[in-house]
């Protein structure tokens, strides 16, 4: 992946954090990329100093860090698609203003990675400039790849966010286990295919997972006064050059992803979609702005390839199988007592 494409993949951290590009050493913001045999992962690594030493955040979530002279080691926790939580250990050296090294996978994981090289370059000061709209054709069916996304597991939670998470049990409390909409942003990061329909003033997203339909308005309209909050919220889109920027608000409470971190009704979600030059690859960076629950905005990245031969299958979900298992195991009373964990 070229430096230009890496920067495009990282361009969704909004607002972009400014830094003194003349600063020496490791402190500052870095665009990190690592490569195993199958894919390249991209993320923004923030390195700073705290009272007790160095601290780091990757994609908005805390990462353990050790620095000794020009040597650096970073441990980034992640989760694979089968639920295993593991670390990627990045060991590198600062040379001529860039970091280079290798990474290994540590801990149990169903998806084994053999490791490989990683590098980081500084994110410099960039001024946000209004770009003339240059819409591109995003219509068609898109299927997910495994590239770009670190799937960072833990996030920088506020006290309220930590208190919520302490008593959350994904198997019982996650909305989709009982056939309830998972909502945004999780739906936009799942690996099921989706289709985009372009009807001029509106883009319609049809997701295979849970059979969800989403409308992204391009004419700047506001929801009516009687429109209730929902898991999909109200989405307005605009073009910044050839990048589609979607802002979503009017959200109902839900959880961010597989871990169960809370997203409040006052949250705002931003998605930035960029199409490759050959129109075959779609990249998105999805950022949640919710200061009630997160000290730093959490970030997820996704990539899809255009595949108009793919079909959007009907989605079926039987909630009876979820409740029947609890009934047979004598857990229904426990489930009812956990009503405050669900929406």
Within 8 A by CB and 6+ apart from 296, the residues are 46, 57, 60, 61, 155, 156
- pLDDT band for 21, please (50, 70, 90 cuts): very low
pLDDT at 304: 97
What ranges make up the beta strands (E) of the chain? 28-35, 40-50, 53-58, 61-68, 71-79, 85-95, 98-106, 116-122, 140-144, 194-198, 202-207, 213-217, 234-240, 243-249, 254-255, 262-263, 268-275, 281-289, 299-306
The residue with greater pLDDT, 292 or 50, is 292
CATH topology of domain 140-319: Lipocalin (2.40.128)
CA distance 91 to 68: 11
- pLDDT band for 80, please (50, 70, 90 cuts): confident
The residue with greater pLDDT, 158 or 5, is 158
Q: Can you read off the two tokens belonging to residue 279?
A: 């129109």
- Domains of the chain by residue range: 17-122, 140-319
pLDDT in tens, 265-303: 999 999 999 999 999 999 999 999 999 999 999 999 999
- pLDDT band for 11, please (50, 70, 90 cuts): very low
Answer whether 17-122 and 140-319 agree in fold. Answer: yes
Is residue 24's pLDDT more than 80? no
- Share the mean pLDDT of the chain: 89
What does DSSP say about strands 213-217 and 234-240: parallel, antiparallel, or unpaired? parallel
pLDDT in tens, 142-191: 999 988 899 999 999 999 999 999 989 988 999 998 999 999 999 999 88
Least confident range from 59-73, 105-119, 225-239, 278-292: namely: 105-119
pLDDT at 147: 87
Tokens 């050839």 map to which residue?
242
pLDDT in tens, 31-47: 999 998 788 999 999 99
Q: Please say whether the beta carbons of 230 and 251 come within 8 A.
A: yes
Within 8 A by CB and 6+ apart from 51, the residues are none
pLDDT at 212: 94
- CATH superfamily name and code, 17-122: Quinohemoprotein amine dehydrogenase alpha subunit, domain 2 (2.40.128.120)
């Amino acid at each position: 992946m070229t430096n230009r494409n890496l920067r495009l993949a990282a361009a969704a951290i909004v607002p972009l954090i400014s830094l003194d590009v003349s600063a020496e050493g490791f402190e500052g913001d870095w665009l990190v990329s690592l490569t195993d045999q199958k894919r390249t992962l991209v993320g923004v690594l923030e390195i700073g100093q705290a009272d007790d030493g160095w601290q780091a955040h990757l994609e908005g979530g805390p990462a353990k860090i050790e620095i000794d002279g020009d040597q650096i080691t970073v441990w980034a926790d992640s989760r694979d698609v089968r639920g295993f939580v593991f670390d990627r250990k990045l060991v590198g050296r600062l040379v001529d203003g860039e970091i280079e090294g290798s990474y290994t996978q540590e801990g149990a994981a169903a998806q084994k990675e053999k490791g490989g090289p990683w590098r980081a370059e500084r994110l410099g000061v960039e001024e946000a400039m209004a770009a003339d709209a240059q819409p591109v054709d995003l219509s068609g069916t898109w299927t997910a790849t495994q590239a770009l996304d670190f799937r960072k597991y833990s996030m920088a939670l506020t006290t309220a966010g930590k208190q919520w998470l302490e008593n959350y049990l994904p198997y019982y409390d996650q909305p989709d286990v009982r056939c309830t909409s998972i909502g945004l942003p999780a739906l936009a990061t799942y690996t099921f295919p989706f289709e985009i329909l372009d009807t001029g003033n509106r883009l319609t997203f049809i997701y295979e997972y849970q059979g969800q339909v989403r409308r992204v308005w391009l004419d700047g309209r506001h929801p009516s006064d009687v429109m209730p909050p929902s898991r999909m919220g109200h989405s307005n889109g605009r073009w910044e050059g050839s990048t589609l920027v979607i802002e979503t608000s009017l959200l109902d409470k839900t959880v961010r992803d597989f871990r169960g971190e809370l997203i409040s009704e006052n949250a705002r979600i931003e998605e930035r979609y960029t199409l490759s030059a050959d129109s075959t690859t779609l990249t998105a960076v999805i950022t949640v702005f919710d200061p009630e629950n997160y000290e730093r905005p959490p970030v997820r990245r996704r990539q899809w390839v255009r595949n108009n031969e793919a079909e959007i299958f009907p989605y079926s979900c039987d909630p009876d199988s979820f409740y029947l298992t609890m009934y047979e195991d004598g857990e229904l009373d426990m489930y009812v007592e956990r009503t405050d964990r669900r929406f």
